[in-house]
Amino acid sequence: MSIMDKLKKNSKIKDASILSESKFFTQKDMVQTDVPMINVALSGDIEGGLAPGLTVLAGPSKHFKTSFALIMASSYLKKYDDAVLLFYDSEFGSPQSYFEQFNINTERVLHTPVANVEQLKFDLVGQLEQLERNDKVIVVIDSVGNLASKKEMEDALNEKSVADMSRAKALKGLFRMVTPYLNMKNIPLVAVNHTYKEIGLFPKDVVSGGTGIYYSADNIWIIGRQQDKKGTEIQGYHFIINIEKSRYVKEKSKIPISVSWEGGVQNYSGLLDCAMAGGYCTKPSPGWYAEYGKDKKVRHEETLKKEFWDPILEGTTFKSYLKEAYQIGGKNEVIDVEDVRE
């Protein structure tokens, strides 16, 4: 008997295996969304997507965080017919129509209201403990940033105004317990969170909830936005996904996504900025765009359609360019979206 066989036989951990054969590394499940640049933000690859583990979407109020989470959940439910969305709700800002807007059948959503961190911890750990690796479940928490600790609530009931020092510790404990389950049982968890400004001359956005979320997360997005104006009229927003932390994407990358009041998420938004930076698209004259080397010019609205991008994605090296620019290990420089737009 070899030393390896001896160690495997003596291990009390049933999932212990040779690393090259480990299901935790060889069977990574990725769920592709319908929005190419969201796939890039999640995995650094236009053909990648949401992987098991913790993804945190942070930003101020009305920054489309819940919508991004539901786009991912919708894609997961679309890929697996028997999948279920476990939705923990502390904000109650997502009515049934909101789920239907993202093509989520509410019969496949277990809505679980939670009032504090401890309540979330006990229920979520209990749910994950009972699941098997082949059970298809995606978890969304909306939101972590709005959850009080049990002590904070008890102090309010007892009319105590002392500062609560237990919340960050409770959140750290929650994600410390949950993280192994997510990876061992192949489950993605998307947590909506808040940000606050640090004190200083040039304050930056900081994800709320303490260090526990940072340590546990596979992906952390900090979402910013700019108004999308036509003249003086606001017709939507340009969101910038800032990659604060990722196992797959170069940190500090900026991924653009646009949303209009009329059509919602513009699925092919963000691609033009990257294609311009890489030389795959040109701007022959103000307001007009073209694939490099082609005579046909189109208005900006046409660059948001699948028909414009199919020849570029399938007939050029643009996919590889994006992967090299955004994925960890890629050799291209990170694309500066703001420079391209100027």
Q: Is the pLDDT assigned to residue 199 strictly greater than 90?
A: no
> Per-residue pLDDT averaged across 208-218, rounded?
85
User: Of 169 and 43, which is predicted with more confidence?
Assistant: 43
Q: Confidence class of residue 68 from pLDDT cuts 50, 70 and 90? A: very high
pLDDT above 70 covers a percentage of the chain that reads 92
Tokens of 145: 């940033």
DSSP-assigned letters across all residues of 138-204: EEEEE-STTPBPHHHHHHHHTT--PPP-SHHHHHHHHHHHHHHHHHHTT-EEEEEE-EEEPSSSS--
> Per-residue pLDDT averaged across 65-71, rounded?
95
Give the tens place of pLDDT for each residue, 117-170. 999 999 999 999 999 999 999 999 998 987 876 766 666 666 666 555 567 788
pTM (two decimals): 0.88
Q: Is the pLDDT assigned to residue 210 strictly greater than 80?
A: no
Write down the pLDDT at residue 193: 93
> Per-residue pLDDT averaged across 172-178, rounded?
91
User: CB–CB of 272/247 below 8 Å?
Assistant: no
Q: How remote is the C-alpha of 257 from its chain's centroid?
A: 13
User: CB–CB of 108/85 below 8 Å?
Assistant: yes
Instruction: Give, in degrees to the nearest 5, the angle at Cα 109 between 107 and 113.
Output: 130
The SS3 assignment for 21 reads helix
Write down the pLDDT at residue 316: 95
Q: Is the pLDDT assigned to residue 49 strictly greater than 90?
A: yes
- Compute the distance between CA of residue 171 and CA of residue 296 in angstroms, rounded to an integer: 54
Q: Is the pLDDT assigned to residue 340 strictly greater than 60?
A: no
Picking from 114, 125, 326, the residue whose alpha carbon sits closest to that of residue 219 is 326
Write down the pLDDT at residue 42: 97
CATH, domain 16-267, list 3.40.109.10, 1.20.120.640, 2.40.30.10, 3.40.50.300: 3.40.50.300
The pairing of strands 109-113 and 53-58 is unpaired
Which range, 21-25, 200-204, 225-229, has the best average confidence (pLDDT)? 225-229
Domain-by-domain residue ranges, the chain?
A: 16-267, 268-333
Picking from 298, 268, 313, 330, the residue whose alpha carbon sits closest to that of residue 35 is 268
Write down the pLDDT at residue 54: 96
- Compute the distance between CA of residue 145 and CA of residue 191 in angstroms, rounded to an integer: 9
Residue 269's contacts (CB-CB under 8 Å, 6 or more residues apart) are 37, 238, 256, 257, 258, 304
> Per-residue pLDDT averaged across 214-232, rounded?
88
